[in-house]
Structure 1
Amino acid sequence: MKRIIDLVKNNRLINNFVVLLTGEGIVSILSMLSFSIIIASIGNEGNGMIISIQTYCILLNGIFGFKSFQALIKYIVYEIENNNKEKIKEYIFQSYALDLAAVGLATVFSFVFLNFYGDLMNWNQTMRNLTIIYIVASAFQIQGTPIGILRVYNKFNLITYNNTIVAGARFLLYVVGFFAKYNIYYYFGVEVILVLVQNIMLNILCFTTLKQYDLNDFYKCKLKFDKEFFKFNIYTNIASTIDIPVGTLTSTIINGYLGYADLSVYKAFEKIGALLGKLSSPLSQIIYPELNNYIVKGDIKKAKKMSDRLFYGINAIGIVMIIGTLLTYKWWLGFLIDGYQAFIIPLIVYLIYTSVTNAAVGVHNLFLALNYVKYIVPIVICVNIVYLGVIYVLIIKWKLMGVIISLFLQAIAVILIKIAIMKRNDYKELV
């Protein structure tokens, strides 16, 4: 036992994985409990209304927001290797500038498109007023740079603490709401407060880390826009924007075609599938900096081996999870979904989809680390054009099952195309 404890403490990868997995596991359990409480309190319809508001804000943030942590990690790793502190500060300043510009754009356009979206979703004035409040709270959602800093400087424990505290606060506040028999406005207020708290805390933790490495005066540098850094950011963020149909826009499509109740069922599927995601999410956070380290040192074989092991390992765990769900769903699924008997087969198909997508975390991170960003935009455009056509046909024919099958086909297509491109280039880094 002592040897295992020593191994965890002394191996950075294992230590980070255990910290993140423990945190993600706690967050997942608290999230499931919170979901059960809100369904018991305000039902699928009320919960679906809150989700609908959040979906709109996430959609606009997804379109205009920058995922700057990917570029930040990739370029800072090189400068850490070269001990170039001034260049690191320049990248941090540029990254924060992009984050602030993006959140400003997202906020402005969230207000601009609110009435159009509200008319599309048949929202009443109350729903629109609540959305305005959530838009203001979302203006504090500056996450890209803080996440990049905390990951590259091995502060995964701080990310875990922040997420766990927020999940715990949500659970406790939901319990209060349940026993006090509060209505939908209370639960909405809880979500608004927690959005603010989580994002403010994330930035405080980031500045604490920067101070530790004598980088907290980055804003004193002259703001320079590094062409390659900016280009990498643009490629990854255009791809993320185009890729919205697979994430946020899927919820919008379900809401528009099937209604709040089915949207709530889909979100319950996401909560269940997130149990496997809680395994791959820590791995994704850990391996991207590690893959970049291997590539900086020219050790491509080790990078590929890490990606392959993740694919087979996570799929094996996914199979165990699917079998466990089939054996036990009668005991717990009813707490998450009203009339759950009608959704068992769609749930199993969703879990298969989740297993495959989570297992591909190594493929996606290796693709980025090898600097194949220029291929991402055409891949996502082509695959998602097909996805939108397929989901339109299948959602009408098979309803929620049609959505899940469409997602599955999209995910498989992206994975296979990326693997084919890397093989064609013999897994060499593009420069």
Structure 2
Amino acid sequence: MNILRKKIKKVRSGWHAESTLRGRLKNITHLLTGNFASAFIGLVGFALTARALGPADYGLLALSFAYVRGIERFVSFRSWQPLIKYGALALETGDSERLKALFKLGLLIDLATAFLGWGLAVLIVLLAGPLFGISDEMSRLVLIYCAVLPLQVTGMPTAVMRLYGRFKILAYGQVAASSLRTLLCIAGVYLGWGLFEFLVLWMASQICGSINRNLWAFREIRRQGLHDVMRVPLGDIRSRFPGFWSFSFQSNVAPIIQACAFEFDTLLVGYLADPVSAGLYHIAKRVAKIAQQAGEQVQAVLYPDLARAWATQEITEFRKTVNQTGWLLFGFGLFALFTAQLSIEWILRMTAGSEFVAAAPLVVTQFGAVIMLLCSRTLFSALLAMGHEKAALQSILLSGILFLVTALMLLPKIGALGANVAHIVMSSTWFVQMAIAYRRRLTRGS
């Protein structure tokens, strides 16, 4: 009888694992489908903008976008990471009061960092612009674009939708936003819009996307029966959620360092080269980001599952999930690199125009960094779920320094391609360090 019970338990365990994998793959499929559709549609919008403005004006717009985006990622608290970590256990135990307190705390953090980012962005432009010889036109464009920052409240909504598995809404909401922006870009080309009109168009699309995500999140909160979220008392955060601030700080520093590399690099190219090079580099990054975002979307599904598995000490399932996802992303990265090598010149010529075909080598080189970055995403999620955010932070510090040193050395010599090479150095170093840290901590079992 005991043997029979063990066999039945093993079969049930296999069914559960298979069901979990199917559910995870289904969510990943939704996110990837929506993300690719959104990315391709968005790329058409960027290409139409580039075609309408030309390399010089598009470079100015790209620099404005990169600056504001960099400040947003630099200041953003990414409250979804601690909210999912602490909310996963609360969700498993049905502790609704704890969930409401977490969501309220996350929203307050998001609002505070959004306004902090706006103030910092404006202050830097006003004080540092004249020191670095930034033109008045460039400063004016950036100051206008900074208006999107107070409305970029995305951490809490992201945590809500991911915790409750509403990945389909997250995925196809992006498609709707990208489609609207592309339709407006088509109208802009037809009406002969200039730099300022396209600047306002990009701003409006970002603001509408953030508002839409918040509306869906609050709708989901009410659907789950969590009412009066903003009235629930927070209490003492340190005693109620032990380690919340420490985890939040350490898990956010690594993405901040990455933000300096993945957002401010366009500014670095523009400063050490010229706006035209910055425009070509930005186009190359937008193409490569189609594949890069696959890792972010997979992490969106993976992190809540890993947090639950580690919280309940399902180590075998935890290890299996990490391995499966890592190989999946590696294979996808190789496929994306091969596809880019064969078709990127034709894609650039047919979309942005022949003036932007020079960005083709930048795209292919950037895909080399993307492959390593995709593999690293899985390990980063695993380390956070294991509560080893310090190891995740340490792994990015050295790679961030190497990126900056490599970029400063190569940009003056080989132009924008130097930034691509610096990305490869950073991503490879980050992956190796995190792989070592993950193996060590998994062996210890804690």
Distance change in 2, residues 1:341/1:203 (3 Å): closer
Pair 1:287 & 2:302 matched:
yes
Question: Equivalences for 1:8-407 in 2 at 5 Å?
Answer: 11-119=22-130, 122-224=133-235, 225=237, 226-334=241-349, 335-336=351-352, 338-339=354-355, 342-407=358-423
* 8 Å CA contact retained: 2:257, 2:397: yes
* 8 Å CA contact retained: 2:383, 2:392: no
Distance 1:222 1:117 in 2: 41
Give the drift of 1:427: 4.9
* 8 Å CA contact retained: 2:280, 2:358: no
* 8 Å CA contact retained: 2:51, 2:353: no
Out of 415, 425, 429, the position equivalent to 1:413 is 429
Distance 2:345 2:137 in 1: 38
Distance 1:244 1:389 in 2: 16
Distance 1:364 1:285 in 2: 12
Q: Which moved more, 1:271-280 or 1:191-200?
A: 271-280
SS of structure 2 residue aligned to 1:113: helix
Give the drift of 1:158: 1.9
Distance 1:88 1:427 in 2: 32
The residue type equivalent to 2:222 in the other structure is K
* 8 Å CA contact retained: 1:207, 1:216: no
Distance 1:348 1:398 in 2: 16
Distance change in 2, residues 1:272/1:244 (3 Å): closer
CA RMSD of aligned residues (A): 2.3
Deviations 1:267-324 (A, max 9, x none): 2222221332343332111111111121122122222222222222222233233333
* 8 Å CA contact retained: 2:283, 2:359: no
* 8 Å CA contact retained: 2:399, 2:425: no
* 8 Å CA contact retained: 2:410, 2:418: yes
Give the drift of 1:220: 1.2
Q: Which moved more, 1:306-315 or 1:167-176?
A: 306-315
SS of structure 1 residue aligned to 2:243: helix
> Between the two proteins, what is the percent identity of the paired residues?
17
2:13 corresponds to: none
Distance 2:356 2:207 in 1: 34
Structure 1 residue ranges without an equivalent (≥5): 1-6
Give the drift of 1:70: 0.8
Deviations 1:21-60 (A, max 9, x none): 2211211121121122111100122122112112222222
Distance change in 2, residues 1:9/1:189 (3 Å): farther
Distance change in 2, residues 1:302/1:9 (3 Å): closer
Q: Which moved more, 1:287-296 or 1:117-126?
A: 117-126
Q: Which moved more, 1:399-408 or 1:217-226?
A: 217-226
Distance change in 2, residues 1:37/1:251 (3 Å): same
Q: Which moved more, 1:392-401 or 1:344-353?
A: 344-353
Distance 2:334 2:272 in 1: 31
1:3 corresponds to: none
Distance 2:217 2:48 in 1: 33
Distance change in 2, residues 1:287/1:66 (3 Å): same
Normalised to the residue count of structure 2, the TM-score between the two structures is: 0.89
2:3 corresponds to: none
Q: Which moved more, 1:90-99 or 1:342-351?
A: 342-351
Normalised to the residue count of structure 1, the TM-score between the two structures is: 0.92
Distance change in 2, residues 1:399/1:188 (3 Å): same
2:14 corresponds to: none
Give the drift of 1:382: 2.8
Structure 2 residue ranges without an equivalent (≥5): 1-17
Distance 2:21 2:421 in 1: 43
